[in-house]
């Protein structure tokens, strides 16, 4: 499956966006700590998911959007996917600790694993970290 990608300017610096037919795979800062694998066919250009992502990010940075409704398709372990899904349930503007998120997912001793999964989040901003 082809992954389309574009680089877009933002108030937090250039962002790399990538999506395929399943949904948004990546929102990555210019110099990521954990870059996503570029395996498979990557093609410069936009698809519908990337157009939606760009528009919704513009609205977010303009202060008119607090929730995203883009189809997401991150790749990760089952635990990472679960943590990332739980991160999306945190209301806009609320902050919690890794320990609190571990408690919320009924794994109170997994705060380091939750923190590691958070650090591997491939869809920054849209999946809050």
Which positions are catalytic?
A: 129
Q: Find tokens 């890794």 and name the residue.
A: 98
Q: Is the dihedral of CA 97, 107, 22, 2 positive or negative?
A: positive
Residues 127 and 68: beta-carbon distance below 8 Å: no
> What distance in Å separates the CA atoms of residue 56 and residue 15, rounded to the nearest whole number?
14
């Amino acid at each position: 499956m082809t992954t389309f990608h574009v680089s877009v300017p933002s108030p937090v610096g250039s962002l790399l966006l990538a999506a395929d037919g399943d949904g948004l795979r990546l929102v990555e800062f210019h110099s990521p700590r954990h870059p996503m694998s570029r395996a498979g066919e990557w093609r410069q250009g936009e698809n519908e998911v990337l157009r939606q992502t760009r528009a919704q990010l513009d609205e977010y940075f303009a202060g008119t959007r607090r929730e995203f409704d883009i189809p997401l398709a991150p790749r990760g372990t089952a635990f990472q996917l679960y943590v990332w899904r739980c991160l999306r349930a945190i209301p806009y503007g609320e902050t919690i600790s890794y320990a609190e998120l571990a408690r919320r997912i009924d794994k109170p001793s997994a705060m380091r694993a939750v923190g590691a999964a958070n650090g591997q989040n491939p869809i920054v901003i849209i999946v809050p970290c």
